[in-house]
Amino acid sequence: MSKPESVKGEECVNYEGNVVTAKSVGDPCNCRFKCLEKITNEQQLEAFERFYNIATKDEQDLYLQGLVHVSSIKTRRPRVQQFRENNKRNSSFKYYVLIATERKMICKKSFLSVYLISNKRLQSIQQLLQAGVTPTDKRGKQEYFNKARVFKGTFKTIQNELLECMLGPYLGKGDKEKSNYVAVIAD
């Protein structure tokens, strides 16, 4: 079995034919568990694709909620006080990535990296989890990424697939103009 070559220093071309610098899908977390070393690039991409193909932002957030586990310290205090305590980040979170049907625990940094979401978005998901409510995005419209910031050292095939995946929704709707802005870019 031959591995695809690493694209370190190579370039990747976006839909318009513009050259963008190649980097990898998963930014290494550098934590002691070396989370992303336990998951292949292909698996990372599959996990991302699964998430990315979810139609609306609400549903995406709901999906992510299912991959974040919150454990809060149980007390016998009145509800109001409990709520206040919860707001003081009296919870710990665990993050998982879904590989096929298996959940693998990864660190927060890797979670953000695999699903290409901002820390801000994760924070709001966590707040909703703590409050025990499901996400409702008033806009209710589909949200796609235009740019994926990725890390060097990835395989070219993975990057191209990532690009394809990001282009999918635009091409499917004949929204060709928007697809011109889709790119895999370097940090």
Residues that bind Zn ion (CB under 5 A): 29, 31, 33, 35, 107, 110
C-alpha–C-alpha distance, residues 34 and 39, integer Å: 10
Query: What is the smallest separation between the CB atom of 141 and Zn ion, expressed in angstroms?
Result: 33
Q: Is 145 helix (H, G, I), strand (E, B) or coil?
A: coil
The answer to whether 90 and 73 are in contact (CB under 8 A) is yes
Query: What is the smallest separation between the CB atom of 4 and Zn ion, expressed in angstroms?
Result: 24
Nearer to Zn ion, 20 or 29 (CB): 29
The answer to whether 140 and 87 are in contact (CB under 8 A) is no
The answer to whether 162 and 48 are in contact (CB under 8 A) is yes
Query: What is the smallest separation between the CB atom of 36 and Zn ion, expressed in angstroms?
Result: 7
- The neighbouring-strand residues paired with 19 are 13
40 closest CA partner among 64, 84, 4, 73: 4
C-alpha–C-alpha distance, residues 115 and 145, integer Å: 11
Exposed, middle or buried, 176 (CB in 10 Å: 0-12/13-18/19+)? Answer: exposed
The total number of residues shown for the chain amounts to 187
Nearer to Zn ion, 14 or 110 (CB): 110
Nearer to Zn ion, 122 or 166 (CB): 122
Query: What is the smallest separation between the CB atom of 29 and Zn ion, expressed in angstroms?
Result: 3
Nearer to Zn ion, 31 or 131 (CB): 31
Query: What is the smallest separation between the CB atom of 45 and Zn ion, expressed in angstroms?
Result: 18
Nearer to Zn ion, 35 or 183 (CB): 35
